[in-house]
Every structure is written in structure tokens, then in C-alpha cells.
Structure 1
Amino acid sequence: MTAPTADDRSLPLRERKRLRTRRALTETALRLFTERGFDATTLDDLVDEAEVSRSTFFRNFPAKEAVAIEAEVELWTAYLHRLRDRKLSGPVLAELHRCLADAVTALDPGWDGRYLATRRLILTAPALLAYVDHYRTGVEDEAISCLATALRVDPDDLRLHVLARLTTTCWSVSGRDWVRRDGRGGRQALVTGLARAYRSVPESLALSATPR
């Protein structure tokens, strides 16, 4: 299952309009934040440029930080959709990898540019980095809940917490490298880098040092 988009004709017209408004706010916000800086751009600047009311903005986003990281939200929303729908079979870390890789692959073509702009913006605004960290913690909590239900184990089981954190860590490592290369190689390069990060997990655990 994929996250709904404004182009999905199976959605009611009202929902498609809401998604289009959300996308317009996101694109306007990224442009203004990039041009003027995140801190220097007020919420009034944003809604005036997007030609919407403050109430419309807050119906779509809880805060200015949220609209700035919408590309992150798109990714992890798609990931959680897949995790909730998937019938897990085999090693759980591999299943989490498949969910995340499938989510990345299915994102709309414009996502690459939005994500690159978002990550560059985060480097200039410490408040956004903190917001992303907080958001990803919520994603990990959701993943833990899904795994606990699917595997019929206690949500406090430490293994679930480690697996959830490994997934966001593998993304952080591979995504950071992709952004550093300005997205060279496109979506396929990102997916390949993600696979390499997951493969490194057991290899890293097997790494040992020889006393000198």
C-alpha cells in the first residue's frame, strides 16, 4: 500500500484538493526557506506567498518546522504504511529493509529534489535537525508497535527497539551519502546505498580488533 497522492483519482475530490494544498505549501516553504533562511522566514511570509490562510496552514501542518521536513514525512509515512500491511516472514531486519526500500522506490519523481532541498536546509537550521530527530523517534515507536503486534512479543522487548533504530540509522547513513553526492545516480543509487548500509550491520557486528 502506498501513501495517497493528489493524483489518485480513487480519492474524493476534497481529499485531492487537500493534498494539492499541502504540496503547494511544501514547495513554497522550501523555496522561501532556501532563499531567505528558515529563521528569517515567518509563517505570515509563507502563507502570504502560498495565498492561503493561517488556519489552512494549521489544518495541514502543526508547525513551521513540519512543513520544512515534509519530504522526511512522506518517506516515513510510506514506510509505516508498508510495515503495517506486510506479512512478515524471515529475518525481521531484512523485512524492514524491504519495507523501506519499497517505500523509497514508490515515492513520486519530484521527491528527490524536495528531499535534497530539505536536507540542505536542515544543515543551516539546528531547530530543524532537532525536529527531525524527534519525528524519527516517533517513527521508531510506531515501527516497534507494528512489530510487537506482528511478532506477538512485548513492545518493551529490547530487540524491537534495536531493530527500529537500526532502520533509521541505515537510512541516515545511506541518505547522508546520497545527499553529499547531490543525489547523483538518482533513486537507484539511493536504494543501492541503503542495501549496502543494511548489509553492513552483520558485518559490523562481526568486526573484531586484534590486540597489539
Structure 2
Amino acid sequence: MPSDDRALPLRERKRIRTRRALADAALALFTEKGFAATTVEELVEAAEVSRSTFFRAFPTKEAVAVEAETELWTGYLQALAASELAGPILTALRDILTDAATALPDDWDERYIATRNLILTAPSLLGYIDYARSGVEIEVTEHLSDKLALTPGDLRPRILAELTTTAWSIAGRGWVAADGAGGRSALITRLHEAFAAIPDALRTKAPTLT
């Protein structure tokens, strides 16, 4: 989503703003009352929209709870689809993900930290995140297979897709645990460190017994 949505048609701007209002209301209510204890009726009342409007924007209560996470992966997939890949693919995926994270609005940091803390209290949200990230990995796999003209059944695109989401998970988990210390730049630094550790991790061997 563009940082300045004035370039978008009015109808699209309204859709985006409604979606954001719902996500903000949901995160505030979930944080205050708990995910399970908050109803969709309370969400739509807080956002001043109808129930049908809610379900046009989000398929489930879980989806609105993790909107900050969705923003990241939506931007990543859009950037990947528009990219012409060159050089080592894992590095290219790192850079695309870095750009997607950097482009997120300033208030995303606070919303993402609140979202990840909320997920720790609701097992259904953790399951939803795992399911959603699996969908992202499938899309990345398909993009890579097409862009690289690989044969069906080649395992490398899926491995690269999963290494990328794993690197993000490791970086994001540490950053959230530190309550976002250092801001977005610290998150990006952690992300690059996670990617840099992948080759050494793959070469790691157990010590020889004597």
C-alpha cells in the first residue's frame, strides 16, 4: 500500500481506511479484554461499521488481529512479483523483504509488537499465523519457480521461501522481546544477521568423537 494513498481512487482509499480502522479497534480491544473475550459485535461497534463491512474486510476475527503481520507479507509478495531477480536468490529475497519492512508506516512498529505479544496469549492466533505464512511460502515458491524457469518438483524454491520466513521469525522474535529497542533499523539489522547466519548454520557439524 502506498505511503501516500491520495494517488489511489476514492473507493480504494475508503476501503483501506475502513480496514485500518477495524484493525486498530481490534488490536486495542484484544489487548484490553483478550482475544477470546472480544466479540465481532464489539469490534464493529468500536469501529462504527456494520458486521457485513467487517467480513468484507476480514474473513475471520483472527485475520483482523494480525493485520500488522499481513501488511508485511503483502508488501513482500507484491515486491517479489514486480522484481527481476539477479544474483544469489536468498540475498535477493533478503533485500526484497528488507525493502518491504522499511516501507511500512512509522506506526507499524508499535502495532507489530502489540500483535506479537497478543499472539502469545491466544493459541488460535499462533495457528493462524503459521497457516498464513505457509500461504506466503507457497506464493514465493511459485514466483521463484516461474521467474527462474525451474522444473516442477524442484525443491529449492520452497527451501528458499521457508528460509526467508524463518529468518524473519528469528529476527522479529528477538526484536519484540527487546520491546522494539532501536526501532526499525534494529529490526533490519537483526534480519540481516539472521540471513548471514544461514550458510554457517548449514555447514555446522557435530564434533568428532574420540
TM class by smaller structure: over 0.9
Equivalents in 1 of 2:69, 2:151: separation in Å? 28
Q: Pick from 193, 199, 202 the counterpart of residue 202 of structure 1.
A: 199
Deviations 1:91-125 (A, max 9, x none): 10000000000000010101101100100000000
* Structure 1, unpaired ranges of 5+: none
Q: CA deviation at 1:205?
A: 1.2
Structure 1 match to 2:164: 167
Equivalents in 2 of 1:69, 1:37: separation in Å? 14
TM-score (ref. length: structure 2):
0.97
Q: Indicate how the Cα distance of structure 1 residues 114 and 45 shifts in structure 2: closer, same or farther if over 3 A, else same.
A: same
Structure 2 match to 1:150: 147
Structure 2 match to 1:179: 176
Equivalents in 1 of 2:46, 2:195: separation in Å? 41
Equivalents in 1 of 2:6, 2:42: separation in Å? 32
Listed as ranges, the matches of 1:69-108 within 5 Å are 69-108=66-105
TM-score (ref. length: structure 1):
0.96
Q: Where does structure 1 differ by over 3 angstroms across 4 or more consecutive aligned residues? A: none
Alignment of 1:10 onto 2:28: no
Equivalents in 2 of 1:210, 1:181: separation in Å? 33
Percent identical pairs in the alignment equals 58
Deviations 1:60-114 (A, max 9, x none): 0001000000001000000011111111001100000000000000101011011
Q: Pick from 55, 65, 74 the counterpart of residue 52 of structure 2.
A: 55
Structure 2 match to 1:115: 112
Equivalents in 2 of 1:155, 1:121: separation in Å? 39
1:115 alignment partner AA: Y
1:133 alignment partner AA: D
Question: What's the Cα RMSD here?
Answer: 0.9
Equivalents in 2 of 1:204, 1:162: separation in Å? 14
Number of equivalenced pairs: 209
Alignment of 1:65 onto 2:65: no
* Structure 2, unpaired ranges of 5+: none
Equivalents in 2 of 1:60, 1:175: separation in Å? 26
